Structure 1
Amino acid sequence: MKLFDKLFNPRDVRRKLGLNQQEFWTKIGVTQSGGSRYESGRNMPKPVRELLRLVHVEQVDLSRVRREDFEIIDYLKENHPDLYKSLQKAVKTRHETGTAEDDTATIPR
């Protein structure tokens, strides 16, 4: 068993979120019956594990993520590491203080 597999059990994550199997698994493109098999111990493919982690553990809204976003992140990391770290720290502080509201209206696209 890999370390990532030990980090979370999909059934525990689902129950913690208060979702039924249909709600939980549909968000990542898995049928309820397929999700039930994963919860019962069937080996979960890495792409499914990653989607589960992103959507249900990291709480990433995939409908808002674009390839360009990752390109911007990579650009900042490579060309402006201080700015990247400063932004990362600001976001972390915002989340810790509970001021992480939906700011999409103020972010130019």
Structure 2
Amino acid sequence: MQLFSKIPNPREIRRKLGLNQQDFWSKIGVTQSGGSRYESGRNMPKPVRELLRLVHVEHIDLARVKHEDFEIIEYLKQTHPDLYKSLKKAVSAQAKQSDATVQL
């Protein structure tokens, strides 16, 4: 999914995860009433969309991400682009293998 891409239907994502509005929206710092407005079609700001994508679509635990992690990623991209691409490809292959195992 592209960074800041439109989240088509946050209500559908929430329901697939089996969460109520309070639990779903509080994980990204949005009140239940604010989340309800987004689910009803109100325009969602880019930062909220990105947090929704990271937490509920990509399943990233934001409590575990540190600023240093982003610095390391940027350093690796700039100084060792081939290694970065290789690691990215390996992680993607591992995720696909995990998904295939879960589906069995």
TM-score bracket for this pair, using the shorter chain length: 0.7 to 0.9
1:47-96 Cα deviation digits (max 9, x unpaired): 11111111111111100111111111111111111111111111111111
How far apart, CA to CA, are the structure 2 residues paired with 1:21 and 1:94? Answer: 32
Could you tell me the TM-score, scaled by structure 2's length? 0.85
Question: Is the aligned partner of 1:49 residue 2:49?
Answer: yes
Tell me the residue number matched to 1:78: 78
How far apart, CA to CA, are the structure 2 residues paired with 1:91 and 1:60? Answer: 15
Tell me the residue number matched to 1:107: none
Where 2:48 maps in the other structure, the secondary structure is helix
Tell me the residue number matched to 1:66: 66
Where 1:89 maps in the other structure, the secondary structure is helix
How far apart, CA to CA, are the structure 2 residues paired with 1:75 and 1:4? Answer: 25
**Offset of residue 8 of structure 1:** 2.5
Tell me the residue number matched to 1:26: 26
1:25 aligned partner, one-letter code: W
User: Tell me, which stretches of 5 or more residues in structure 1 are unaligned?
Assistant: 100-109
Tell me the residue number matched to 1:92: 92
**Offset of residue 4 of structure 1:** 2.5
The list of structure 1 runs, each at least 4 consecutive aligned residues, that deviate by more than 6 angstroms after superposition, is none
Could you tell me the TM-score, scaled by structure 1's length? 0.81
User: Tell me, which stretches of 5 or more residues in structure 2 are unaligned?
Assistant: 100-104
Tell me the residue number matched to 1:4: 5
**Offset of residue 15 of structure 1:** 1.0
* RCO higher in structure (CA 8 A, sep ≥6): 2
